[in-house]
Amino acid sequence: MRTSRVKSKLRNNEPALVTCLHLTDPSLFEMTSLLGFDGIWMDLEHHGYSVETATTLMRAARVGVSDIMARPAKGEFMRLGRLLEAGATGIMYPRCRDAAEAREVVAWSKFAPLGTRGFDGGNADMPYCAMPVGEYIRKANDETFIVIQIEDEHAVGQAEDIARVEGVDILFFGPSDFTILAGIPGQFDHPSVDKALVTVAEAARKAGKHWGMPAWNMELAQKLMGMGARFLASGADIVMVKTALEDIQRRFKPLGFTFDNRLGK
């Protein structure tokens, strides 16, 4: 079973960086993992591909070093277990409301005595019945990391209780959903966002856990790390491809090339 790169770094209080891949080309997962990112954020909350497709993408990533952090949708506990068996090292759970829900995530993600995850062993995580059961159970519990997303004002108020749940490794603040649900969509510099960040950071510190959020520029990354964040996400393949294509258009327009851009620019 693979050792988690993310968890190894966090154990030493080193920063860990993940990047988000939405496109379903295995070559992209292979390349990103070979480039040495700590983790790949696989988003099955907002994208429609199957666990079978996710399994193929994880297989491609195994040629490199990156962890796979898979995000199922809220309440998809059966899918969560299948993603772990397919080789995900981490689970990101969205829209967690309170400690009771966080405990349920742990229960589905960890084997006894930490949880009640069902055993198979015949999949990529063990891998393929190649380890003694006791060793596999121990290592799976040690190396699987759980990221709980804090995405609304109620959850922020529950952050300390969530952070104290045994088995939760990381609190992850979701700024986009937070601002939308708070009625201030996209206002990431709003005082309520800063207040929430302080609350989440303090909750993680008190519980001896890590925390983080997306960092879309270096200034924000430095601010977050100054507040104790050690788990950051940056970049998404869709955005990076779009930005690169727009750059090509900008460079070629002075030569007389024109483009029928249907995206509003």
Residue 233, in any domain of the structure: yes
Rounded CA separation 94/174 (Å): 9
Share of the chain above pLDDT 70, in %: 100
Domain count, the chain: 1
Residue 264 has a pLDDT of: 73
69 strand-pairing partners: 41, 90
Residue 261, in any domain of the structure: no
Residue 83 has a pLDDT of: 97
Q: Is the pLDDT of residue 168 over 80?
A: yes
Residue 58, in any domain of the structure: yes
Residue 108, in any domain of the structure: yes
pLDDT-derived band at 265, boundaries 50, 70, 90: low
Residues with Cβ within 8 Å of 166's Cβ and at least 6 positions away in sequence, in order, are 106, 114
Q: Which one-letter DSSP state was computed for residue 255? A: G
Rounded CA separation 136/214 (Å): 32
What is the model's pTM?
0.95
Q: Which residues form the domain of 194? A: 5-255
19 strand-pairing partners: 40
Q: Could you report the per-residue pLDDT of 129-157, keeping only the tens digit for each?
A: 999 999 999 999 999 999 999 999 999 99
Residue indicated by tokens 């009625």: 183
Residue 264, in any domain of the structure: no
Question: What is the CATH number for 218?
Answer: 3.20.20.60
Which tokens sit at 22? 């939405």
Q: What is the mean pLDDT of the chain?
A: 97
Residue 227, in any domain of the structure: yes
Which tokens sit at 36? 């040495």
149 strand-pairing partners: 172
Residue type, position 256, single letter: G
Residue 265, in any domain of the structure: no
Residue 263, in any domain of the structure: no
Q: Is the pLDDT of residue 89 over 80?
A: yes
